[in-house]
A and B are shown apart, each in its own frame.
Chain A
Amino acid sequence: MSNEESFYKKAYLREKQARKQAEKILEDKSLELYNTNEQLKFLNNNLEVELVDRLKQKQIIEQEFSSFVNKATDIIYRLDPKGCFTFVNPMTELISGFTAEEIIGQSFTYFVHPDDKVEVESFYSEQIEMQQESTYFEYKIKSKEGRDIWLGQNVQIIYKEEGISGFIAIARNITERKQLEKSIIQSEEKYRGIIESLEFGILEVDTKGIITKAHSSFSTLTGYTQKELIGKNPYEFLHPDSYALMQLQEEKRKDKVADVYEVQIKKKTGEYIWVIISGAPFYDTEGNQTGSVGIHLDITERKKMEEDLKKANEKALASSKSKELFFAKVSHEIRTPLNAVVGLTDLLLKTDLNPTQKKYTYNINKSANNLLLLVNDILDITKIEKDQLSINNKPFKLKNFLNNIHATLDYQAQQKELPLLISVDKNIENHYISDELRLTQIIINLANNAIKFTSIGYVKILLELVSIKKNQHLIKFSVIDTGKGIAQDKIDKIFNEFTQESTNTFNTYGGSGLGLAISKKLVELLGGTIQVTSNLNKGSTFFFTLPFTIAEKKKKNTKKEETTVFTAKDWSATKILIVEDNPINQLVIQETLTIWKVQHKTVNNGLEAVEQIKQEEFDIVLMDMQMPVMDGITATKEIRQTLKSNVPIIAFTANAMKADIQKCLEVGMNDAITKPFKEEELKSKIQNLVSKNHIIKKSKNIKPLLHIDKLEELAHGNMAFVIKMLHIFNETSQQELKTLSETTDCNVISQIAHKIKPSIGYLSTLEMQELVLKIEFKEFVNNPELLDKFISMLKTLKKECKNHLDKHS
């Protein structure tokens, strides 16, 4: 075999092996391909299942989404790139009123309200131009029914490769909100308008009181510009007189209190004006006070008017006061001479007169009495008209009250030979609370009339118990006469002022015509109604019912008082001091007292009275009020405070005003009587006071203050020692009593009590021992009657001591 042959053989073998190698590679590749194919097939199948799945899911999501879009409470729609509707949800139909068919294909701007069209178009062209993906805009559409509907709309641009593929919009009906906004704005404007037109100056301050906001209205009010106000302290504009009030208000505002107050502020012109400020704190959302707002209203005019009114009122009051004073003065001026006329003619009638003189004198006396009644009635009606007449309820005794009435009317009734009968229901008590004075006035008025208009028959005062309610008795008072009666057509007018049954009445019977009017008013004031029944020529009955509260009885005195009133007394031992400057009045009183056989002394003024009382003891002082040198009030004060005398004082006054009587009682007088006095009235008043004093005197005898048993015990039978001790006490107590009557220094009084205390311990009762201790501890400062009682007891003790010494010396 040649070389070449062997080379080819080798090459052939290599090729064979290379082929096998290649076949192997191909087989491997083919297997690999098969496997890959199988895998691909599997993937393909899987892909189909997955695709179906995904499609299903997508459908579900689409359904959900579509349901969401359909059920959405907002408008949802889609536009093509030209702005025409391609989809709308049901809400779009509901809100716009158009059906989907009507909307689809229409241009978006077709539904926009004509007013908003330009604005809406420009807004959305800008969105497209600026490539803003999403925008929000509010505008109106016109619904199919023509309503304006506000929409708040979100628009999203949808981009695809080739550019804008459309728009998706979600819009909400905000009509209600817009209307609310509008109404809020309107209301704000309305109130701003109101506030501005109301001339309220509004100012806001922070919590430090610095001005933070000044409304133009405040500038108008004060003349300051906003610049001049903001940052300033309001005190700069405040009148110094208003500082304190302002501070008070600031404190109040801190406590969350809103208030209204009036201050003076200074205008830019320098002029001060009065403003009323309504200040209120205001708060942030967390409730912290952030400042206050003050509404200022110019009230300068009102203030001026108030001032004028105040002055006018003061003037009116002054004039009213002077009117009252005038009445008091006139009544005094009239009463004083009348006192003389009545009193002197009374006296004159008791002297020997020939029949003509007696007749004249009687007529003078009667006329003067009538005039007096008239003056009193006018005074009363004046007070009633001015509502000045007040009711003064006090405990009183019915029997005393009826006795007084009887005493007052008896003389008149006797003159006409008419029996005056007083009949009282046996169930009626004796002690009641009412205004005795007014009640007396009513009954006397009615009974006076009854006597006046009755010629034959009787006059009867009837008291009946109507009902009992707890401690209240309802009592019916009737004044019955058998007189001429009142015509039916006049009966209604009988209680009117200045009305009498006929003009004839005055001519025949006299009278002011005020009596019944006054009685009616008084009954009403006491809580009742006066009524009348009458038969012409047969008689009249005036009656009224009043409630009375039962007063607690003072059993001890009941019987005695009754007897004292009814017992005619021997007054020869009674000593009366007459204090009166008018000689005629002096004469009248003197003569009256002389007839009653009373001892009396007369002085001309208060000072003389004080001097006289120092020297001499009296049972009663009759004290005139208006006197030269020293008046009655001053004299009484002097007697009570300086002399420390308890002598009963009856004010003798021409002033019938209640206030005057009140004043008399306040300074320590015991009673008051109006001039010209009625003999009976004076008599009963004197009698009351004398008997009271009598009882006190009597009671002293029953309970002696002097007890010498302790002293005797101490003396162990040494009577000389007892006498000596009593002498010492007699002398020292006289000295102490003198000091006590002169001093008002409570320290001095206390020292005296301290000094005298041991003697009282030996000589007197437990009551007086306690009393002297109270005086030492100055309890009399708050309780002045303690001192009066002490002095009185000390005097008695001294007297008893003296008596004892007189008896044993």
Chain B
Amino acid sequence: MKGIVFTEFLELVEEQFGIETVQQIIDQCELSTEGIYTAVGTYSHKDIFMMVQKLSELKEIPIPELLKVYGKYFFTVLSNGYPQFMKEKDLFSFLDSIDNYIHVEVLKLYPDAELPKFDSEIIDNKMTLLYQSTRKMSDFAIGLILGAAEYYNEPNIKIEVLKLEDEGQKAHIKIERFE
């Protein structure tokens, strides 16, 4: 997993809960790097799970909630850092372009990256996304979608997980626009 995910998580924790919580998480988790991350590096995804779980314990906030919040935050990081990928004019078009364009480009830069798959289908004001990843991070994906909705200024959407399969490796996500 790319280092930016770790650095931005610890940044967000320090911002929201103070440096002490950061130190607590690092001290109480058996991290592969002892908490040293750089955005250009690549680290084990187990580290992020351990840190999210520790935060959930310390602050008594459910993991999915934390992942959604982080997702939404992370989107702003991405959209600021990579404006070249933000060509699409609206949310659905952007989501549709993840698999077809953004991930294709990402793989050119990071050939060893393990990216989730998004199959999309748009019918009128509804979109279905099929999330597929061995990391089982559909919640993080939903947070990212929420971040995108905010980016495109589309607050009137309803996101619903219709079905989880293979212990969360597959998630059918429905996004509906409403007036």
Contacts and interface: CB of A to CB of B under 8 A. Distances in A.
Nearest to A16: B36
A11 interface: yes
Interface in A6-27: 7-8, 10-11, 14, 17-19, 21-22, 25-26
Contacts of A7: 19-20, 22-23
A176 interface: no
B23 A21 contact: no
Contact of B20 (A4, A22, A26): A4
Nearest to A11: B19
A contacts with B: majority SS: helix
- Report the interface size class on chain B: 10 to 19
Interface string B89-101: 0000000000000
B36 A18 contact: yes
Interface in B3-53: 7, 19-20, 22-23, 26, 34-41
B22 A11 contact: yes
B contacts with A: majority SS: loop
A19 B40 CA distance: 10
B59 to A, nearest CB: 17
Contacts of A4: 19-20
A41 to B, nearest CB: 21
B179 to A, nearest CB: 46
A19 B3 CA distance: 12
A21 B41 contact: yes
Contacts of B19: 4, 7-8, 11
A3 B20 contact: yes
Nearest to B20: A7
- Report the interface size class on chain A: 10 to 19
Contacts of A19: 38
Nearest to B6: A18
Nearest to A21: B38
Contact of B35 (A3, A14, A26): A14
A4 B22 CA distance: 12
B38 A22 contact: yes
B35 A22 contact: no
Contacts of A11: 19, 22-23
Contacts of A25: 38, 40-41
A426 to B, nearest CB: 147
A26 B19 CA distance: 28
A22 B22 contact: no
Given A22-B41, A25-B41, A17 B20 contact: no
A13 B22 CA distance: 14
A3 B21 CA distance: 12
Contacts of B20: 3-4, 7
Nearest to A13: B36
A8 B14 CA distance: 11
Q: Which one of B23, B35, B37, B38 has the highest number of Cβ atoms from chain A below 10 Å of its Cβ?
A: B38
B40 A17 contact: no
Nearest to A29: B40
A10 B27 CA distance: 11
A29 B35 CA distance: 23
Contact of A10 (B23, B38, B39, B40): B23
Interface in B70-101: none
A437 B148 CA distance: 156
B132 to A, nearest CB: 30
Interface in A24-57: 25-26, 29
Nearest to B14: A11
Contacts of B38: 18-19, 21-22, 25
Interface string A322-345: 000000000000000000000000
A22 B33 CA distance: 13
Nearest to A17: B36
A21 B36 contact: yes
B36 A14 contact: yes
Nearest to B35: A14
Contacts of A14: 26, 34-36
B40 A22 contact: yes
A7 B26 CA distance: 11
Nearest to B19: A7
Nearest to B37: A18
Contacts of B37: 18
A3 B120 CA distance: 50
A756 to B, nearest CB: 144
A22 B42 CA distance: 11
A174 B39 CA distance: 80
B121 to A, nearest CB: 33
Contacts of B22: 7, 11
A25 B19 CA distance: 27
B113 to A, nearest CB: 15
Nearest to A6: B23
A10 B37 CA distance: 14
A550 to B, nearest CB: 134
A22 B38 CA distance: 6
A14 to B, nearest CB: 5
A25 B37 CA distance: 12
Interface string B117-134: 000000000000000000
A22 B4 CA distance: 12
Interface string A755-797: 0000000000000000000000000000000000000000000
B138 to A, nearest CB: 30
A462 B22 CA distance: 179
A26 B38 CA distance: 11
A79 to B, nearest CB: 44
Interface of B: 7, 19-20, 22-23, 26, 34-41
19 contacts: A3-B20, A7-B19, A7-B20, A7-B23, A8-B19, A11-B19, A11-B23, A14-B26, A14-B35, A18-B36, A18-B37, A18-B38, A19-B38, A21-B41, A22-B40, A22-B41, A25-B38, A26-B40, A29-B40
Sorted nearest first, the 4 A-B pairs with minimum C-beta distance are A22-B38, A18-B38, A17-B36, A7-B19
Given A11-B23, A14-B26, 17 more contacts: A4-B19, A7-B20, A7-B22, A8-B19, A11-B19, A11-B22, A14-B34, A14-B35, A14-B36, A17-B36, A18-B38, A21-B36, A22-B39, A22-B40, A22-B41, A25-B40, A29-B40
